[in-house]
Structure 1
Amino acid sequence: MISLLLRYFNLMVLTIAVLVIISFSLAYMFPGDTLTNISGIVPQSDEQRVALEAAFKLDRSIFVQFWYYLQNLLNGDWGVSSSSQLSLFDEISIAFPATIELISYALFVSIFVGIPLGFIGGIWHHKPFDFGVVTFSVVSYSFPVFWLAVIFITIFCLQLGYLPLSGRVNFLYDVPHSSGFILLDIITSDLPDKKDAFIDALRHLILPTASIALVTTAIFIRFTRRSIMDEMNKGYVDAAKSRGFTTKQIFFKHGLRNSLLPILPLMAMQISTLITNAMVVETIFSWPGIGNWLIQAIYQRDYPAIRIGMLVVSVFVVTLTISIEFISRAFDPARDKYQRASI
């Protein structure tokens, strides 16, 4: 276990180190002034330029500049946005929790809808319910996320008027920002109309969450269905049936656990998909997350914000993916027994 932990820790550190180097290099690859790309400040005079170059170590060697950049990253001094002149650390601290909240709810829905439907479809495969589950998964997986979001807006917002069009909560509710999760912030706040604010935030969450969750739910359904079908066709199941065990007993005693083992690595693979889909959905629903924030930074050519935003998203995806992969290996040590080809 210790050797496995060290191996994944080294992999995470090396991957993050490469991402930091790439992020550092982007300041020199972006068009425009390198000093502005790093600091987010346009120098107004030669004296200010000399002072900024000395502050950001641009008058020193490239290794000194990288060491200074690394120190600033660890200290939370990520520079300022060239468009808003606000601290990038403060802006990302507000935007990124909104994205994490959105993908967390989408993953929750995908797991607790997709996995049970996949299990039922796998047990009753080639039956009417299974055909319905397969049809639902194929249709859900075939829809592009941006088109699905537009359809939801057209039907539930513009035509029926059941759900709000954009944002996280109505502007009438002044929700204090503490954790960054809107529902948690409402629960822990002292708002006089807390219940109404909570319901309003839930209504704002429904369409963005559904737009992201449908594709991931379809993937979980198909993967879980195939996993349970493969597991229930193995030799130990036939042996158990010959001893008088029912299909229900075999499934809950052996099949369920063995079928769930491949699901955990699937969650790791879906993190990047969820992040990508969330960035698209945030733009459509004006959800104030890191995706919408990055898109606005690209439109405004805010290179300091693009550089730091891409690094934060990449580090988050790498850290979460490797952590889930480590947990899955810890629960299923047999995955370490690789088979080598022989001639």
Structure 2
Amino acid sequence: MLVYLGRRLNLLFFTLLILCIASYTLAFLFPGDPLTNLSGNPISSEDQAQQLRMMYALDDGYIAGFWQYLKLTLSGEWGLSLTSQNPIFADICQFLPASLELSLYAMAVSLLVGIPLGIAAGLNHRRYTDMSILSVSLVGFSMPVFWLALLLILIFSLQWGGLPMSGRVSLIYEIPQYSGFMLVDILQADIDNKKQVLMDALHHLILPTLSLSIVTCSLVVRLTRRSVINVMASDYIKAAYAKGLSRTQVFWHHGMKNALLPIMPQLAMQFTVLLTNAMIVEVIFSWPGIGEWMMQAIYQRDFPAIRGGMLAVSALVVIVTICVDLLIRTIYPLSKKQLHAQV
């Protein structure tokens, strides 16, 4: 286990190092002055330019400059946004929790709906129930996330008018930010009509969560169905039937655990897919997350914010993937030779 842990940590270190090198190189590839792209400070005088060049060690060569950039990045000095002049690291810490919140809720919905449907389809293999669930999951898996989000807005917001189409909460409410997770902040806040505000936030959460979870739920259904079919056709299941156990006893005592364990790594890895898809959904629903923030930075040609956002999202995906891989390796040792995280 220690050897495996060392390999994963080694992979994590070199992957993050490559991401930092790519982020530093982007400052020289983007249009404009590399010094402005690194710091986010418009150069107004020669003295200011000289101070910034010393700060980023640009006169000492690429390697020395990258080493200085790496030390500033690790200390949280990611530069300033060209448009707002806010620290980029502070903006990322402000907007990233909204993306994580949306991804976590979508993942929970996908598992709560997809696993029971996959089990029902697997237990009724090649029957009407199986064919119906498999057909619906195929349709859901084939839908592009952005098209599905627009379709939900058209039906539930514009035609029926029952659900809001943008934002995390109505503008009439002012919620103090503690953790960045809207529902948690509402429960912690000392405000009037807390129940009403909480229901309003849940209404805003429905459509973005559905847009993300439908595609992932379809994949969960297909993975669970295939695993249940393989397990129920195995020899030890046939032996359990030979002992006189009922179909329900066989599945819940012998089939359930063995069907879910092999697909746990694949299900856990869907969180990173959800996180990247959430960046698309945020733009459509004006959800104030890291994706919507980066899109505004692209529109405004805010190159320091683009560079910092790409580094933050890429590093988060890599870290989550490696951590999930280590967790699964701990609780499911058979994954050592069968399933590994793909970075």
Query: What is the TM-score normalised by the length of structure 1?
Result: 0.95
- 1:304 aligned residue: 304
Deviates further, 23-32 or 265-274: 265-274
Per-residue deviation, residues 149-206 of structure 1 (Å, max 9, x unmatched):
1111111111111011100111111101110000000000001121111111100000
- 1:218 aligned residue: 218
- 1:328 aligned residue: 328
User: 3-state SS of the aligned residue for 1:59?
Assistant: helix
Per-residue deviation, residues 308-335 of structure 1 (Å, max 9, x unmatched):
1111111111111111112222222223
Per-residue deviation, residues 47-80 of structure 1 (Å, max 9, x unmatched):
2212221222222232222222112222111110
- 1:89 aligned residue: 89
Q: Distance in 2 between matches of 1:330 and 1:80?
A: 41
**1:17 CA displacement:** 1.5
Give yes or no for contact 2:272–2:320 (8 Å, CA) kept in 1.
Answer: no
Q: Distance in 1 between matches of 2:55 and 2:73?
A: 15
Count how many residue pairs are aligned between Structure 1 and Structure 2.
338
Give yes or no for contact 2:83–2:300 (8 Å, CA) kept in 1.
Answer: yes
Q: Distance in 1 between matches of 2:212 and 2:301?
A: 27
Check 1:337–1:280 CA distance in 2 against 1; reply closer, same or farther (3 A cut).
closer
Structure 2 segments unaligned to the other structure (5+ residues): 339-343
**1:226 CA displacement:** 0.5
Q: Does residue 182 of structure 1 match 2:189?
A: no
Deviates further, 111-120 or 248-257: 248-257
**1:126 CA displacement:** 2.0
Q: Distance in 1 between matches of 2:335 and 2:195?
A: 47
1:96-175 equivalence runs, <5 A:
96-175=96-175
Q: Taking every aligned residue pair, what percent have the same amino acid on both sides? A: 48
Per-residue deviation, residues 86-120 of structure 1 (Å, max 9, x unmatched):
11111111110000000000000001110111011
**1:337 CA displacement:** 3.9
User: 3-state SS of the aligned residue for 2:59?
Assistant: coil
The code of the aligned residue for 2:141 comes to Y
Per-residue deviation, residues 293-313 of structure 1 (Å, max 9, x unmatched):
111111111111111111111
Q: Distance in 2 between matches of 1:259 and 1:10?
A: 32
Q: Distance in 1 between matches of 2:20 and 2:114?
A: 36
Runs of 4+ off more than 6 Å: none
**1:259 CA displacement:** 1.0
Q: Distance in 2 between matches of 1:266 and 1:279?
A: 21
The code of the aligned residue for 1:62 comes to Y
- 1:10 aligned residue: 10
Structure 1 segments unaligned to the other structure (5+ residues): 339-343
Q: Distance in 2 between matches of 1:12 and 1:47?
A: 39
Give yes or no for contact 2:232–2:255 (8 Å, CA) kept in 1.
Answer: yes
- 2:341 aligned residue: none
Deviates further, 263-272 or 173-182: 263-272
- 2:68 aligned residue: 68
- 1:39 aligned residue: 39
**1:9 CA displacement:** 1.7
- 1:341 aligned residue: none
Give yes or no for contact 1:163–1:203 (8 Å, CA) kept in 2.
Answer: yes
Computed over aligned residues only, the root mean square deviation of the Cα atoms, in angstroms, reads 1.4
The code of the aligned residue for 1:192 comes to D
Give yes or no for contact 2:269–2:324 (8 Å, CA) kept in 1.
Answer: no
**1:128 CA displacement:** 2.3
Give yes or no for contact 1:35–1:53 (8 Å, CA) kept in 2.
Answer: yes
Q: Distance in 2 between matches of 1:43 and 1:239?
A: 77
Q: Distance in 2 between matches of 1:244 and 1:182?
A: 52
- 2:253 aligned residue: 253
